[in-house]
Structures are given as C-alpha cells and as structure tokens.
C-alpha cells in the first residue's frame, strides 16, 4: 500500500529520503545475503596527508603512512623538491577463505613538496615511527641573493 500525499513535493521528499537510506543499508544486506566481499575504492595510487611546520631553524614535514614499513618508503631530494613515494602490497595470508570487507589501501603512493631556496638539502634527515614519517629540513642562514653592480 502506498501513502497518499496531497502535496506532491512532500511525496518526492519522502521518496528521496527512502532511497538514501535504502542505498546506505543495501551494502550491509548484500554481504549478509551473498557472503561476497565488499571492496572500497581504496586501491591504487594515493596521496599521503601531511603537515609542514616552519620553525626558526628548520622546516618539519610529517607524512601519515599507516600500514607502511620503513623499507617501503623512498625519500629523495632533487630539482628543488622533496619526493616521498613507495608501494604497499596486499597481504598474501588471506588469499584463501572469504573476505567480507576489504578497505585497506594497497598500491603506489606519492607526494612532492617544493622546497624553498633557503634550505640545506645536504643536511636533511628523516625518521619513521608509528606510521608517521618525519623529515627535518634545516634552513640556510646565509641570505639567498647578491648585490649586482651596475656598469
């Protein structure tokens, strides 16, 4: 039995809300009925979130890399930029049996940060702890410029 609404706008609103809830809960019901895996779109290329802080003597970059090991991270400085990249692989131990939800990301990640001119690239240091990559970039105290004589 359908409901009757004298105002058609109210009926359309109720239908929209019903569809919204139906779509939201549909994913949960599909797993119960079929036992099939739900995979989010968390695969492939990703951009790690980061913070960049400037202090008096250095810049500090903190990049979130959860589920990554130190060996999976590449850190390079070239052409005036800091490059953070790497790749994660799917865990092989769950290849047998049924996976019902799979949301962790696998694949390549990359982030590029343009460095200011007043840094000492040869003194950059990094550490990785608890899923956070911390990169310290010392500032150069020397002024970056020169006086030009006019002839």
Same domain? For 68 and 131 the reply is: yes
Place of tokens 């706008």: 9
**CATH, residue 81:** 2.60.40.790
How many domains does the structure of the chain reveal?
Answer: 2
Q: Are 110 and 49 in contact (CB under 8 A)?
A: no
* Length of the chain measured in residues: 151
Eight-class DSSP state of 132: E
pLDDT above 90 (res 99):
no
Scanning the structure block, which residue is given the tokens 């996976």? Answer: 99
Report the range out of 3-17, 84-98, 101-115 with the highest average pLDDT. Answer: 101-115
Note whether residue 144 is domain-resident: no
pLDDT of residue 39: 42
Question: What average pLDDT does range 12-24 have in this prediction?
Answer: 65
Range of the domain at 120: 50-90+99-138
């Amino acid at each position: 039995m359908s409901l009757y609404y004298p105002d058609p706008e109210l009926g359309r609103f109720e239908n929209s809300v019903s569809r919204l809830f139906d779509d939201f809960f549909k994913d949960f019901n599909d797993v119960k009925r079929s036992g099939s895996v739900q995979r989010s779109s968390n695969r492939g290329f990703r951009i790690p979130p980061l913070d960049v802080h400037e202090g008096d003597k250095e810049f500090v970059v903190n990049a979130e890399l959860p589920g990554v090991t130190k060996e999976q991270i590449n850190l390079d400085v070239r052409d005036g930029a800091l490059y953070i990249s790497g790749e994660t692989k799917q865990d092989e131990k769950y290849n047998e049996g049924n996976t019902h939800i799979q949301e962790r990301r696998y694949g390549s990640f990359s982030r590029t940060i343009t460095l200011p001119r007043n840094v000492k690239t040869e003194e950059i240091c990094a550490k990785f702890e608890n899923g956070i990559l911390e990169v310290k970039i010392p500032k150069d105290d020397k002024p970056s410029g020169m006086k030009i004589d006019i002839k």
